[in-house]
Amino acid sequence: MPRTLAVLVAVLALAAAGCGGGSNESAEEGGTTTVAGVAAADHGTKDASGMEELDVELDDDYFEPTVITGTPGESVKLELENEGGDEHNFTLESQNLDQDVEAGEKAEVTVTIPQSGQVSFYCKYHKQLGMAGALAAS
């Protein structure tokens, strides 16, 4: 009997995952990763070395790119564009940044690539759904 129950639970979990919609869909499409110790929906890495600015997509519920690499100590202006249906946010505690971006709107922040390792950024409204990323020294 326990085996039957386990199979039923597995089937129900697969059925629920396949129902589409919902805010976890983006995490399923790109998979998940752990960056700077935080679980994140994985939507790629972009090298910003030598760039003055970089476009960053905020969507329901991920950042693209998820990881931004660059030369240690380099400053980069991020052009944040909220392409999702919800208000999102770019929080980078280690650099005292907390920028809201309404659905369909844009904002700018300037970040500094860390001297070593990674520092986490996230959406304070959707971090628990995997809307997080990191700046990383290359």
Q: Can you spell out the DSSP letters for the chain?
A: -HHHHHHHHHHHHHHHHTT--TTTHHHHHH-EEEETTEEEE---EEE-TT-SEEEEEEETTEEESSEEEE-TT-EEEEEEEE-SSS-EEEEEGGGTEEEEE-TT-EEEEEEE--SSSEEEEE-TTTGGGT-EEEEEE-
Can you give the pLDDT at residue 36?
94
**What is the reported pLDDT for 29?**
53
pTM: 0.78
Architecture of domain 23-137: Sandwich (2.60)
Is 3 or 92 the better-scoring residue by pLDDT?
A: 92
Rounded average pLDDT over 119-131: 98
User: Which tops the pLDDT comparison, 120 or 8?
Assistant: 120
Per-residue pLDDT tens over the stretch 62-100: 999 999 999 999 999 999 999 999 999 999 999 999 999
Per-residue pLDDT for 137 more than 90?
Answer: yes
Q: Tell me, what's the pLDDT at 13?
A: 37
Please write the tens of the pLDDT for every residue from 22-71: 333 333 457 999 999 999 999 999 999 999 999 999 999 999 999 999 99
CA gap 38, 28 in Å, rounded? 17
Domain limits of the chain? 23-137
Q: pLDDT at position 53, please?
A: 97
What's the confidence (pLDDT) of residue 117?
A: 97
How far is Cα 4 from Cα 21, in angstroms, rounded to an integer?
29
pLDDT for residue 25: 35
